């Protein structure tokens, strides 16, 4: 079985970008399971995919979800994303965006999921020297949010 035969786990799949990705994957004929805390996402954004409500740091639930749904790939959108808030509440961003992602990846690895797409942010590059920003532009985060994304990339 190739990894394309299994299910795609989309974290943050009840948010704006995640829900559109879920729709595109479903239109492409892929099986999808959405994993979202619904803290910022909306249940009604999840059209025809199963929804598991949980935190990405809940390793047991992530692993169980992967096993139950035959997950072979992960698309990870679940993150806090407000730059200003990140500067006022850095620990909140570090716990969710970095530590939560580590727990998510470890749980997925334990379930045999090795194919991952991580949604980062152009903010990891800070104020770019040139636009458009290329993939080889230096990483220079200027906020806690951007640093949290850069850390997960690293």
- Residues identified as active-site: 145
In contact, 16 and 72? CB cutoff 8 Å: no
* Helical ranges in the chain per DSSP H: 16-27, 59-69, 83-88, 90-93, 101-110, 144-153
Contact 75, 10 (CB under 8 A): yes
The span from the CA of 96 to the CA of 109, in Å, is 19
Q: What is the dihedral of CA 152, 122, 96, 88, to 10 degrees?
A: 130
**Do 43 and 22 touch, CB atoms closer than 8 A?**
no
């Amino acid at each position: 079985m190739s990894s394309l035969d299994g299910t795609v786990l989309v974290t943050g799949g009840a948010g704006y970008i995640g829900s559109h990705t879920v729709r595109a994957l479903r239109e492409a004929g892929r099986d999808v399971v959405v994993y979202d805390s619904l803290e910022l996402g909306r249940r009604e954004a999840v059209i025809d995919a199963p929804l598991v409500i949980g935190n990405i740091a809940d390793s047991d639930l992530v692993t169980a979800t992967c096993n139950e749904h035959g997950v072979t790939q992960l698309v990870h959108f679940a993150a806090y994303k407000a730059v200003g808030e990140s500067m006022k509440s850095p620990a909140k961003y570090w716990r969710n965006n970095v530590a939560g992602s580590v727990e998510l990846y470890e749980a997925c690895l334990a379930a045999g999921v090795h194919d991952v797409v991580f949604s980062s942010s152009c903010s990891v590059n800070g104020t770019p020297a040139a636009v458009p920003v290329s993939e080889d532009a230096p990483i220079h985060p200027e906020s806690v949010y951007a640093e949290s994304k850069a850390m997960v990339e690293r």
